[in-house]
Amino acid sequence: MSDDRKVSIDELAISNMYGIDALVALLVEKGIITHEELITRISDIQQEQADQTVN
């Protein structure tokens, strides 16, 4: 079965966002990570990316 339906970048981004949101919610609900740890990690990654673009 072939699905030739084309999706937009927006649809892909939204789908990706929902998947990440669901994974994060499960990790927090199960006590694997805290919201604060997530925010810290996101901030760290953003800083690493900024540092790489400068160098």
Structural domain contains residue 1: no
User: In this structure, is the dihedral angle defined by the CA atoms of residues 17, 34, 36 and 52, taken in order, positive or negative?
Assistant: negative
Given this model, what pLDDT does residue 17 score? 97
Given this model, what pLDDT does residue 21 score? 97
Q: Is the pTM of the predicted complex or chain greater than 0.85? A: no
Given this model, what pLDDT does residue 4 score? 76
Given this model, what pLDDT does residue 39 score? 95
Q: Does residue 24 contact residue 38 with C-beta atoms inside 8 Å? A: yes
Structural domain contains residue 2: no
Please give the residue range of the domain that contains residue 15.
9-54
The length of the chain is 55
Structural domain contains residue 3: no
Structural domain contains residue 4: no
Count structural domains, the chain. 1
Kindly write down the DSSP assignment for every residue of 9-32, as one continuous string. Answer: HHHHHHHHHHHHHHHHHHHHHTTS
Given this model, what pLDDT does residue 45 score? 97
Question: Tens of pLDDT along 12-39?
Answer: 999 999 999 999 999 999 999 999 999 9
